[in-house]
Amino acid sequence: MGCFCCFRQEPEEEEEEEESIKAEPARTNHPLSTLFRNISFQAESKRHWALIEEILKIGNGNPTARVFTFAELSAATQSFKLECLLGEGGFGRVYKGHLEETNQDIAVKQLDRNGLQGNKEFIVEVLMLSLLHHPNLVNLIGYCADGAQRILVYEFMPLGSLEDHLLDLSPSKKPLDWNTRMKIAQGAAKGLEYLHDMAHPPVIYRDFKASNILLDENYNPKLSDFGLAKVGPVGDKSHVSTRVMGTYGYCAPEYAMTGQLSTMSDVYSFGVVLLEIITGRRVIDTSRPSDEQNLVQWAEPLFKDKKRFAEMADPLLEGKYTTKGLYQALAVAAMCLQEEASTRPLMSDVVTALEYLMVSNSDPVDQRQDSRGSKAGTETGSNKEKDEDEWRQPENGIGS
């Protein structure tokens, strides 16, 4: 959930922000702007108000976020009791809490005052999740800004993150089956599609990874952690220029090298996570042999050889998937991972492809049963050849 610079952080601040704070920003009468009038920004006041005004362009929003006192959240978490701790990272700690008056379980993220997230990330998250509402975005219930406290309150997601169910599983933990993996991929894609195509101006998530995809009791995914989200380009602009932030391994190459951020940067990150979902491997895993430590680099030669596609499937799936489904999922991942941003698909196209995949591969077969001739697990040679013919290698970049 925490994040750090993908590569070397550039000393320059964001161009647009520098220009926008030369003059004192007008204190807008937008209803959401009043949420922050009592937060002490100290020396960063002008920069933060410029940021607020930029984000408020997204829309009028519905300021339903509740303002909690520290005492209320202390009571909800039993004084932030260790037994209530769900997890922690560079941002601080997340606790499970309960609101007696509404009989509602909540997740309480208490930001570390000396951590990776400060006032800016706190403001971005509250504003973004107050303005943006979708079934595949986590619901922000409220926040607390008492004194130096910076606390965010979300709906409680009982199954934790995708990372908890996909990567480095203990032998006793049941792995996700193929259909559940594709359901999660599809829902997460819909969340990004909403940010890119339905928010005006578009929003670039900028930190898409398995640990930021939370799951409800039915494995429905919701994107969380919007502290790095950025309002995207409008008009004739193709990108916004910003410092390179995010998590190593997930950053698009053009963003990592130039700081030029676009919705296509999120598409690349989605491709990385989809590859993690298919393979069960971390994007960076130093415990593996040197030629397998970087997931994308490991996959490059495999994308070019259809006979080796099965090598990319997570062994924990135990062969319970269709050849067609595997090929289609790998095709989507390869397209998203194109080195050239302009050749990547739109998230709307990714959603369409995954919807087709879900419908056409609703009953995965056990590939291990092919040699035994099981009726339920056998794909005929002609069908298999047809599935292989449906694979289309990208013309450029990773799949070429």
Per-residue pLDDT, 2: 45
Considering the chain, what is the average pLDDT of its residues? 81
pLDDT class for 33, splitting at 50, 70, 90?
A: low
Rounded to whole angstroms, the Cα distance separating 353 from 350 reads: 5
The CA-atom distances, in angstroms, between 133 and each of 185, 195, 227 are 19, 10, 16
Query: Is 89 among the domain residues?
Result: yes
Q: Which residue ranges make up the annotated binding site for ATP?
A: 109
Q: How many residues does the chain have?
A: 400
Q: What is the mean pLDDT of residues 109-118?
A: 73
Query: Is 384 among the domain residues?
Result: yes
pLDDT class for 184, splitting at 50, 70, 90?
A: very high
pLDDT class for 82, splitting at 50, 70, 90?
A: very high
Contact indicator for 3, 246 with CB cutoff of 8 Å: yes
Rounded to whole angstroms, the Cα distance separating 138 from 140 reads: 6
Rounded to whole angstroms, the Cα distance separating 61 from 31 reads: 8
pLDDT class for 265, splitting at 50, 70, 90?
A: very high
Q: What is the mean pLDDT of residues 260-280?
A: 96
Are both 152 and 178 inside the same structural domain?
no
Query: Is 352 among the domain residues?
Result: yes
Token pair listed for 96:
């499970």
Are both 117 and 60 inside the same structural domain?
yes
The CA-atom distances, in angstroms, between 40 and each of 56, 102, 143, 320 are 19, 30, 15, 55
The helix/strand/coil state of 17 is: helix
Per-residue pLDDT, 52: 63
- Which of 94, 123, 156 corresponds to the end of one domain? 156
**Which range is least confidently modeled, 7-16, 55-64, 161-170?**
7-16
Q: What is the mean pLDDT of residues 93-119?
A: 86
Token pair listed for 261:
């951020």
Q: Which residue ranges make up the annotated binding site?
A: 109
The CA-atom distances, in angstroms, between 44 and each of 52, 120, 240 are 12, 9, 22
Per-residue pLDDT, 115: 56
Query: Is 7 among the domain residues?
Result: no
129 or 176: whose pLDDT is higher? 176
- Which of 105, 124, 156 corresponds to the end of one domain? 156
Are both 169 and 28 inside the same structural domain?
no
Are both 260 and 325 inside the same structural domain?
yes
Per-residue pLDDT, 187: 98
Are both 234 and 130 inside the same structural domain?
no
Rounded to whole angstroms, the Cα distance separating 342 from 395 reads: 12
Are both 100 and 226 inside the same structural domain?
no
Q: What is the mean pLDDT of residues 358-385?
A: 54
DSSP-assigned states of every residue in 362-383: SS--BGGGGGGT-TTT---HHH
153 or 24: whose pLDDT is higher? 153
How many domains, in total, are found in the chain? 2
Are both 151 and 200 inside the same structural domain?
no
Query: Is 8 among the domain residues?
Result: no
pLDDT class for 369, splitting at 50, 70, 90?
A: low
pLDDT class for 111, splitting at 50, 70, 90?
A: confident
pLDDT class for 39, splitting at 50, 70, 90?
A: low
pLDDT, tens digit, 9 for 90 and up, residues 226-235: 888 888 776 6
Per-residue pLDDT, 236: 66
Q: What is the mean pLDDT of residues 58-86?
A: 86
Are both 171 and 147 inside the same structural domain?
no
Query: Is 293 among the domain residues?
Result: yes
Are both 362 and 229 inside the same structural domain?
yes
Per-residue pLDDT, 260: 86
pLDDT, tens digit, 9 for 90 and up, residues 305-336: 999 999 999 999 999 999 999 999 999 999 99
Are both 132 and 180 inside the same structural domain?
no
pLDDT class for 56, splitting at 50, 70, 90?
A: low
Rounded to whole angstroms, the Cα distance separating 240 from 234 reads: 9
pTM, two decimals, is 0.82
Q: Is 197 a catalytic residue?
A: no
HEC string of 98-124 equals EECCCCEEEEEEEECCCCCCCHHHHHH
Q: Is residue 274 predicted with pLDDT exceeding 90?
A: yes
CATH number of the domain residue 287 falls in: 1.10.510.10
DSSP-assigned states of every residue in 76-100: HTTTT-GGGEEEEETTEEEEEEEET
Among residues 142, 231, 180, 204, which one has the least CA distance to residue 341? 204
Among residues 355, 276, 365, 282, which one has the least CA distance to residue 324? 365
Q: Is residue 19 predicted with pLDDT exceeding 60?
A: no
All residues at 6 or more sequence positions from 1 whose CB lies less than 8 Å from its CB, including other chains: 87, 89, 91, 94, 211, 212, 224, 225
CATH number of the domain residue 92 falls in: 3.30.200.20
Are both 311 and 172 inside the same structural domain?
yes
Q: Which of 146, 168, 207, 236 is catalytic?
A: 207
- Which of 122, 156, 190 corresponds to the end of one domain? 156
pLDDT, tens digit, 9 for 90 and up, residues 119-165: 778 888 888 888 889 999 999 999 998 888 899 999 999 999 999 99
Residue 386 domain boundaries: 162-399
Instruction: Give the burial class of 24: count Cβ atoms within 10 A of its Cβ; 0-12 exposed, 13-18 middle, 19 or more buried.
Output: exposed
Per-residue pLDDT, 365: 58
Are both 122 and 270 inside the same structural domain?
no
Query: Is 146 among the domain residues?
Result: yes
pLDDT class for 378, splitting at 50, 70, 90?
A: very low
Query: Is 6 among the domain residues?
Result: no
pLDDT class for 371, splitting at 50, 70, 90?
A: very low
Identity of residue 18: E
Per-residue pLDDT, 368: 55
